[in-house]
Amino acid sequence: MRGTERKNSVTATKEGIAAIARANGLDPLPSATNFVTIDCGGTDTLARAVVEELGREGVFICMPFAATGNRCVRISAGRRSGLDALAG
């Protein structure tokens, strides 16, 4: 995949991640990177539940460990096919 093609693919995947987050009542934050940070709101309780549930579905996501960032999860823009598992 060429540079421009890869950049377009990452952008499309990030847009898909953000749309899935919004559809589930979560707030995706603006990103200039290859991942999307999603604010789950409140405390770390919902963020931990999201990480655990997606883990059971085979989706690996990261969660910062320091407060106040621990109310967020971070999802990398991998293959577009991974969006199906995330949307699950």
Question: What is the pLDDT, as a whole number, of residue 39?
Answer: 95
**Cβ atoms within 10 A of the Cβ of 7, count?**
12
Question: What is the pLDDT, as a whole number, of residue 68?
Answer: 83
Q: Hey, where are the domains in the chain? A: 3-87
> pLDDT digits over 54-70, tens only?
888 888 888 887 888 89
Question: What is the pLDDT, as a whole number, of residue 28?
Answer: 97
DSSP 3-45: HHHHHHHHHHHHHHHHHHHHHTT-EEPP-SSSEEEEE--SSHH
Question: What is the pLDDT, as a whole number, of residue 71?
Answer: 94
3-87: CATH topology is: Aspartate Aminotransferase, domain 1 (3.90.1150)
Residues of the chain predicted below pLDDT 50 = none
